[in-house]
Every structure is written in structure tokens, then in C-alpha cells.
Amino acid sequence: MSPQPFTPYPAPPAGRSSEMRARYPRYYAQKDLLGAAESVVAGYQRAVAGGTPVSMSHSWRDPDVPDESVQVIVGGERLLLTVEEWLDRIELAQPHLMSWVSARVHLEGAKDRAGRGRVEPYWHEAIRRANPGRR
């Protein structure tokens, strides 16, 4: 019998997470929606210097954003993602958001933020395509 690798946290009880998700689908959908938006926005901000500003806000922190929603802002355009709209297809929110942000950012003249943690390869390639001839 080989020794088990050390893990700092015990594994969650089997089935507990799925049981909780089934019991509170809107709560977990809001967390997943927020996670998807944070992933796209933070990935962009970590990777791109000098591109179009991208930011986000959500209903847990911003009273101007409707309940159970996340708002992503690119330049002057806003995209509101609501739990009601995405509840049954939450796994598609991140690809949709990445596509929406990609279509609105301008990367001409932007630079890759090398050395700023793990850079999203998608944005690295997008910067390279938008600035041909630059290394």
C-alpha cells in the first residue's frame, strides 16, 4: 500500500456539495456566475496592459446592480448577467462572457503583462494578433 499524499484540507463528505447545490440552486448559480465573471475579468486584467478597461460589479457589493446579478463593463458598454437568465445553463456563462469581452476590447498598442502570475493564453494570443510585427 503506497502512502497517501498530504492534503492540507480534508475532502468534503461525498455527495454533500451536490446535495447543497440541489437544495439551493439560485445561491450556487449566483456564486458560479460571479466566479465566471471574475475569471474572465481578472484574466484580462492580469494579461493586458494598455488595452480597453474592463471591470465588473455584482449585487452583493453594489446596490445599483439588480439582485442576483453580475455586471461587466467594457469601455462604455455594460452586460448584465442575471441568475434568472443563466440558472439552467450556468456552464455557458463564462464562454459567453469571454466572447462578449473579446468582441469589445481594443488591443492595438496593448502589451502583454509578462511576469504577473499565470497569464491567460487566450489574451496573450489576442495581443499578438492585434499587434503584428511586435514581439
The model's pTM is 0.81
Report how far residue 65's alpha carbon sits from residue 101's, in angstroms, rounded to the nearest whole number. 19
Q: Residue 8: pLDDT above 70?
A: no
Q: Position 127: which residue type?
A: I
Q: Residue 2: pLDDT above 60?
A: no
In this structure, is residue 135 part of a structural domain? no
Q: Residue 19: pLDDT above 60?
A: yes
Task: Return the C-alpha cell found at 108.
Answer: 492595438
pLDDT of residue 115: 66
In this structure, is residue 91 part of a structural domain? yes
The residue range of the domain holding 67 is: 18-130
Higher pLDDT among residues 10 and 73, named by residue: 73
* Span 44-85, pLDDT tens digits: 999 999 999 999 999 989 999 999 999 999 998 999 999 999
* Span 87-131, pLDDT tens digits: 999 999 999 999 999 999 999 999 988 765 666 789 989 999 999
Nearest one of 45, 52, 47, 24 to 109, comparing CA atoms: 52
Q: Looking at the 3D structure of the chain, how many domains does it have?
A: 1
